[in-house]
Amino acid sequence: MKIAVAGKGGVGKTTISAGLCLLMAQQERNPRAVDADPNNCLGYALGFPPELLDDLTPLSEMRALLAERAGSKPGQGGMFILAPPIADLITRYEISYEGISLLVMGAVDEGGSGCMCPENATLRTILRELAAEDRDLVVDMVAGLEHLGRGTAEAVDGLLAVAQPTGAAMRTVRRIIRLAADIGIQRIWILGNNATDEREADLIRRSFSDLPVIGVLPHYDGLVSEDGFEDPARLLADLGDVLHALDEYHNQEG
């Protein structure tokens, strides 16, 4: 199963991405996590040791390497390879810990969303390659979905859009839904988060009644520290139902 997780900054998408990966690891599914958010916090949420992460450079910052693989130079337009060779980059820069593999991709901000520059071409090729492998994949996305072009979107099973019960967060999800439709993502699921009561949970359900709302998570006190989960048991129990539902969708549509 290949899932891209997106939402407005601060709505909990990194925590949810980490929780799904931890559940998959508990089930010995050997998941791969991709951090495609510029904040690069997924590894810490997953509980990877700081010594593995602190000196790790996101692939997106290796602009000369990315451009060279596409047959170009950093920031240069013109002709370049749309599907450059990248298999060795995955092997070289992926790290693993307790049954989870992690690739810290970061985000390229070049000319706005939808940019097709050599660096983005290489990053999109990496995502296509990862999505083609026979492993579960969870991608913690930047809200703008910059890494997902049409070819990559066809490789993922769907988009999990995280919505909090605020106007700004739900407007961002609507924007994400439009972007996803533009690049051909057919399956979109809504996951509500941080609902403090049933009224807020119902607001999320009613606001996205045109899409499958796969669950609504409550507010958790003392859940996450800078070094990862403090007490993930409550979240993982609730996310277990979410993962089961995603597996059901995947099996039905597969």
Q: Following DSSP, what letter does each residue of 63-106 receive, concatenated? A: HHHHHHHTTS-TT--S---SS---HHHHHHH-EEETTEEEEE--
Residue 49 falls inside a structural domain: yes
Would you say the C-alpha torsion 208, 205, 6, 134 has a positive or negative sign? negative
Residue 47 falls inside a structural domain: yes
Q: Residue 216 corresponds to which amino acid?
A: V
Residue 150's CB: how many other CB atoms inside 10 A?
A: 11
**Predicted local distance difference test score (pLDDT) of residue 113:** 43
- Which domain, by its residues, includes 165? 2-12+31-253
Residue 21 falls inside a structural domain: no
φ, ψ dihedrals at 162, nearest 5°: -95, 125
**Predicted local distance difference test score (pLDDT) of residue 231:** 63
Would you say the C-alpha torsion 118, 96, 226, 247 has a positive or negative sign? positive
Q: CA dist 28 to 23, 61, 98, 99, 117, Å? A: 9, 32, 10, 7, 37
Residue 168's CB: how many other CB atoms inside 10 A?
A: 11
At 59-94, the pLDDT tens digits run 888 888 888 887 776 655 555 655 667 888 889 999
| Residues in the chain with pLDDT values less than 50 | 110-114
Residue 22 falls inside a structural domain: no
Residue 99 falls inside a structural domain: yes
Copy the structure tokens of residue 205. 């359900």
Residue 19 falls inside a structural domain: no
Number of domains present in the structure of the chain:
1
φ, ψ dihedrals at 132, nearest 5°: -80, -15
Residue 20 falls inside a structural domain: no
228, containing H or E segment: strand 228-229
- How far is 247 from 109, CA to CA, in rounded Å? 33
- The pTM score is 0.88
Residue 18 falls inside a structural domain: no
Under 8 Å between Cβ of 121 and 81: yes
Find the CATH number of the domain harbouring 168. Answer: 3.40.50.300
Hunting for tokens 């602190």 — which residue is that? Answer: 54
**Predicted local distance difference test score (pLDDT) of residue 112:** 39
